[in-house]
Amino acid sequence: MTYALDIKILAGLEPISSFGPARLREILDYCHIETIHKGNNPFESNGLEGQSVYLVEGELELAYQDGNRVVVSARSEWAKHPLGKRQPYIVGAKALRESQLLRVDAQLLDRMVTLDQFSQHETVQHSFTVSGGAENFDTAISAKHLLNSRMFSADNLKNGPFEHLPMANISLLLQRIEAIAVWENDVIIREGDEGDYYYLIDSGKAQVTRRVGGVDISLALLKSGDVFGEEALVANIKRNATVTMKSNGVLLRLGRQDFLALLQEPLLHKLSYEQAMQAIAQNAVWLDVRHPSEYRYDRLPGAMNVPLNDIRNAIGILDRNKKYIVYCQSGCRSAAVAFILAQAGYDVQVLEGGLWTVPRAAQ
């Protein structure tokens, strides 16, 4: 029997039922339906650890650690809740007829529920500025609005920048982020300026350019869900490019201090040279993010070179199954690269202090 899962099924499960339609569609992509034939134990080869498991079709007999046995039907109130979440533990189970289980990552579900509950009671500063400065006004919007943005998507909670971020930090982000309306041709950041904000494009498009030999060179076209502005904040350097809106849109921005405290620091995992060498011995890869001229002069043995300016182009090309130890001269540029790669879901760590901490004999 083929079982079609849709958001109507999810909307009847707890605590998923608290989600709005957009959130339900998101988590649908992370749900897996498993068919259990009559007489089989659904947990014999695939247990309950780390998962929220729901009975959505059929009937199971569950045996508990205290000796009790209970028959659970998919039509019962009990089936609205994850199996095995109540004490005592389930020690055996049998499908009384062909049944269907829905499985979803328990940690992802818990993070989504936590964020959803928190957003019910918070507001975010939403600023609108009319081009030319003719009119400025602020209004408060519900943080619930942000749950529909790419920044707080299920993918970011599961595989992206928020995967290892404490929920307390994510909750604070909802309070600290400012949403701003922007217009076509607005210059959001300018090459050579000090870094002040980290940005995510909620809607609209933007062009990234850099001035080379008196000519503006186009580097990238940014779209909804893309982020920019972190390099200057992490590495404590001036802006290395200009970002100009190519359409009207809405940006989410986070101030420098909030960015460093809530986003950057938790995502940076630093290693001493001795710890890094142990990781390299276990097949981690050195990633040198300096200029090619620096790399050729004193690179570490076996290191590959991807300069900071090119790191976004390497996302998707670098092997996601490898662990990377990122280094530069002092640790500033490598921290920026590590943050960008961590946002993209890579397993990446930073050589603390950069090459300045490496014995000369090792270079």
Split at pLDDT 50, 70, 90, the class of 47 is confident
332 is catalytic: no
Over residues 282-298, the mean pLDDT reads 92
pLDDT for 149 equals 63
Residue in 95, 328, 337, 348 annotated catalytic: 328
How far is Cα 306 from Cα 233, in angstroms, rounded to an integer?
20
Q: Which CATH class is domain 7-105?
A: mainly beta
Split at pLDDT 50, 70, 90, the class of 126 is very low
Over residues 327-354, the mean pLDDT reads 87
114 has pLDDT over 90: no
129 has pLDDT over 50: no
Domain boundaries, the chain: 7-105, 121-264, 269-362
SS3 326: strand
Q: Architecture of 121-264 per CATH? A: Sandwich (2.60)
121 has pLDDT over 60: no
Pairing of strands 249-255, 270-271: unpaired
pLDDT for 19 equals 86
Long-range contacts of 295-303 (CB under 8 A, 24+ apart): 298/355, 298/363, 299/363, 300/327, 300/355, 300/358, 300/362, 300/363, 301/362, 303/327
Specify the fold of 269-362.
Oxidized Rhodanese; domain 1 (3.40.250)
Look up residue 91 and give its DSSP letter: E
Pairing of strands 123-129, 178-182: parallel
138 has pLDDT over 50: no
138 or 354, higher pLDDT: 354
Is there a contact between 323 and 285 (Cβ–Cβ < 8 Å)?
Answer: yes
Split at pLDDT 50, 70, 90, the class of 137 is very low
27 has pLDDT over 60: yes
195 has pLDDT over 70: yes
pLDDT for 135 equals 41
% of residues, the chain, pLDDT over 70: 86
Same fold, 7-105 and 121-264: yes
222 has pLDDT over 70: yes
The residue type at 66: D
